[in-house]
A = this chain, B = another copy of it.
Amino acid sequence: MTWLDLGDDAPFDAWTLPYGAFSAAGEEPRVGAAVGPWVLDLAPLAAAEGLDGAHLFAQSTLNPFLAAGRRAWDAVRGWVLELVTEEAHRELVEPHLVPLGDVELRLPFTVADYVDFYASQTHAENVGQLFRPDSPDLPAAWRHLPIGYHGRAGTVVVSGTPVVRPSGQRRAGGPGSSVTFGPSARLDIEAEAGFVVGTPSALGTRVPVGAFEDHVFGMVLVNDWSARDIQAFEYVPLGPFLGKSFATSVSPWVVPLAALAPARVSPPPRSPAVASYLEDGEPCGLDVEFEVVWNGTVVSRPPLRDLYWTPAQQLAHLTVNGASLRTGDLYASGTISGPRPGASGCFLELTWNGADPVRLADGTQRTFLENGDTVTIRATAPGPAGTRQRLGEVTGTITPPPAP
Contact = CB atoms under 8 A, between A and B. Distances in A.
Give how many copies assemble into the complex. 2
A246 B404 CA distance: 38
A240 B149 CA distance: 7
A329 interface: yes
A20 interface: no
Nearest to A321: B166
A164 B167 CA distance: 40
A321 B238 contact: no
Contacts of A12: none
A348 to B, nearest CB: 14
A211 interface: no
A181 interface: yes
Contacts of A112: 153-154
Contact of A203 (B234, B247, B277, B320): B247
Contact of A141 (B147, B169, B276, B402): B169
Interface string A232-265: 0111111111110111000000000000000000
A200 B162 CA distance: 19
A341 interface: no
Interface residues of A, number: 68
A166 B132 CA distance: 31
Interface string A110-141: 00110010100000000000011000000111
Interface string A313-337: 0000110111111100100000000
A204 interface: yes
A242 B323 contact: yes
Nearest to A276: B181
Interface in A274-303: 275-277
